[in-house]
Amino acid sequence: MTFSSSQKRKAAALISGGLDSMLAARVIMEQGIEVHGINFFTGFCVEGHTSAIRERHKIKHKRNNALWCAEQLGIPLHIIDISTEYKDIVLNPKHGYGQHMNPCLDCKIFMVGQASTCEYANEQGFDFIITGEVIGQRPKSQRREAMPMIARESGAEDKLLRPLCALNLEPTLPEREGWVDRSRLFGFHGRDRKPQIELAKHFGFKDYAQPAGGCCFLTDKHYSAKFRDLMRTRGKRDYELDDIMLLKVGRHMRPNTRFKLIIGREQGENKYLQGYQKRFLNLRTMSHEGPLALIDGVPNDSDIELAARIVARYSQGRTAAEVEIKATWPDARERAMRIVPLTPLEISDDWHV
C-alpha cells in the first residue's frame, strides 16, 4: 500500500520536552503526517516548574518544555494527568529501577500504552505512535533488547515507530504500509548527541532542552533520597501527589523519625509553600525576616521547639540572642515562641535529607 494524500495519516508523538522527541515529531511531520503531541504529567517530571518556583533561578528557562516544543513544532499538545495510575509504576516496577528511583522501562511501556488507548487517542484515531527513543541512548530503557519489549508490553506492537533509530529496527506498520518513507528515517544509536544536534541544526532549532535525566526527578540522586526517606519514615510504600510535589521544594531536614521540616530557601519557595500552610503545622519567623517552614509528621512539644530553633538558624536572626517564631496548626491554633537559634555546629549533617 502506498501513501495516498487523500488519506492523511495521523500520529501521536510522545513529547517529553527534550530534543529527541521534538526531532522525532518533526521528522514525521516532514512526511506530511498530521502529528499531535502527548505529554504525561506524572508528578515527577517538572524541572521547569521548579525553576519557576525559585526566584533565584532567573537565568533558567521558566517554561514547560513540552509546551514549548509543541509551540516550536506548531502542533497541538494534549497533557494527560497519569499521576494516580503512575503510582503503581513507581512503587512496583516490573522491570526494576535504574540508577536511582527511576523505573524508566516500565514508565516507557506505560506511556506508550496510554498513548495508544487513552481517551484522547480514541477521539483522534491515531494511526501510529512515535517516540524520540534512540537505541543505546539510555542504559536501561533504550537498550536494544528493550525496544521490542516496549512495543510488545505496551500493546502498541508494530504501530510504534522510532524515527530517529528506525533504520536499526525492523520496519513498523507505518513503514510497511508506505504511510512513512523509511528511507527518510534515521539510524542513530548510542550516547553520542552529535547526530541529533546536526539534525536540530538542519531543522533550524536553535534552542532546545537537553535534560540529563529525561525530564524526570526520579533520575535525580537527591530527589530519590528524599523520596526513599518519605516512604521509610511513613512505614509504607505509598505517597500522595502533594508529597512528591513538596519533595521538589525547600530544604528538607529530619532531626528524628517523628517529623520533617520543609524550609523555604527563598521568596519563590516561601510563596509556593504558602499554598500548603493550611494543611501543615507551619513555622514563621516574626521578629526577623525568615523562611516559611512546614512540619510534616507528628512532632511533640520539644520537637516543635527544636524545629523553631532550626528555622531561626535560617532566618535573618540567626546570630540574634533570641528570635520570635509563631507556630500555626491546620486548625488555626497558634503558639508564639521566643527561642535561641541553633548554631551551625548544632545542626547535624544527618538531619539533611
Partner 1 sequence: MPVIRAQELARSLAAGTLVELSATDPGVVHDVPAWCRVHGHDVISCKDQDDEYVIEFKIGAD
Chain residues in the site for partner 1 (CB under 8 A): 41, 46, 48-49, 52-53, 62-64, 67-68, 70-71, 76-81, 268, 271-272, 274-275
Q: Are strands 160-161 and 292-297 parallel, antiparallel or unpaired?
A: unpaired
CB of 80 to partner 1, least distance (A): 8
**Which residue number, 64 or 131, has a Cβ lying nearer to partner 1?**
64
Closest distance of CB 175 from partner 1, Å:
29
Residue 13 or 165: which CB sits closer to partner 1?
Answer: 13
What count of other Cβ atoms lies within 10 Å of the Cβ of residue 330? 11
CB of 264 to partner 1, least distance (A): 13
Nearest approach, Cβ of residue 282 and partner 1 (Å): 14
Nearest distance from residue 159's CB to partner 1, in Å?
Answer: 25
Kindly state the smallest distance separating residue 37's Cβ from partner 1, in Å.
9
Identify which of residues 271 and 338 has a Cβ nearer to partner 1 in the complex: 271
43 or 341: CB nearest partner 1: 43
- Specify the residue, 150 or 262, whose C-beta has the smaller distance to partner 1: 262
65 CB-near residues (< 8 Å, 6+ apart): 16, 17, 18, 47, 48, 209, 211, 215
Q: Tell me the C-alpha distance between 272 and 250, whole Å.
A: 10
Which residues are CB-contacts of 316 (< 8 A; sequence separation ≥ 6)?
A: 285, 288, 289, 290
261 φ, ψ (degrees, to nearest 5): -105, 135
Residue 110: its H or E element: helix 104-117
Which residue carries 528524599 as its cell?
226
Of 306, 9, 63, the residue nearest 178 (C-alpha): 9
**Which of 111/160 has CB closer to partner 1?**
111
Nearest residue (CB) to partner 1, 45 versus 185: 45
Closer CB to partner 1, 208 or 259, in the complex: 208
Residue 13 corresponds to which amino acid? A
Residues making up the chain, counted from first to last? 353
CA nearest to 219, candidates 141, 110, 135, 335:
141
CB of 288 to partner 1, least distance (A): 21
Q: Where are the beta strands (DSSP E) in the chain?
A: 10-14, 34-41, 77-81, 128-130, 160-161, 251-256, 259-263, 281-285, 292-297, 323-328, 334-339
Closest to 23 (Cα-Cα) out of 196, 210, 265, 236: 196
Shortest Å, Cβ 237 to partner 1? 24
